Amino acid sequence: MEILVEKYVQWLERKNDFGDIMPEKRRGKKDADLQRAYEEVRQAGTRYVTPDQICRRIGANVLKFRGKRENITGLQICDLIAHPSHMWVRSLQNHAVRLGPYAQRIVPILKALKYDRSHDGRISGYGVKYLP
């Protein structure tokens, strides 16, 4: 949660914009744990983003959970992008993964147009950040 909020807030600041976070419902303890993690990040900030920056860019203090049955377009798009992106990032770390035909078509688009990048064009550390 920490990195997701941090990178999103940094992107929103560069765009001088505001946003929300809308995870897909899992129900019960998983949703409660995710909400608690979000609240902790909002209160403590991260290494690179202060609590004030977070609250200024992401106004809601609660996550906007939505279910699959609600058929939210943004969540549908996330479903189409998340797995290929995840497999590509794992391949960068020399994990034994295979990009399927769909991922082979999507990943070049993500790399060329969608991943966030530094002022000098680097994706690593900006659009892709590894957790130990």
Residues 76 and 62 in one domain: no
Closest CA to 57 of 41, 36, 35, 71: 41
Residues 78 and 131 in one domain: yes
Residues 55 and 77 in one domain: no
Report pTM.
0.84
Residues 2 and 45 in one domain: yes
| pLDDT tens, residue order, the chain (132 aa) | 999 999 999 999 999 999 999 999 998 899 999 999 999 999 999 999 999 999 999 999 999 999 999 999 999 999 999 999 999 999 999 999 999 999 999 999 999 999 988 889 888 888 888 777
Residues 62 and 79 in one domain: no
For the chain, helix (H) and strand (E) counts, in that order, are: 5, 0
Residues 77 and 101 in one domain: yes
Residues 62 and 76 in one domain: no
Q: What is the pLDDT of residue 28?
A: 85
SS3 56: helix
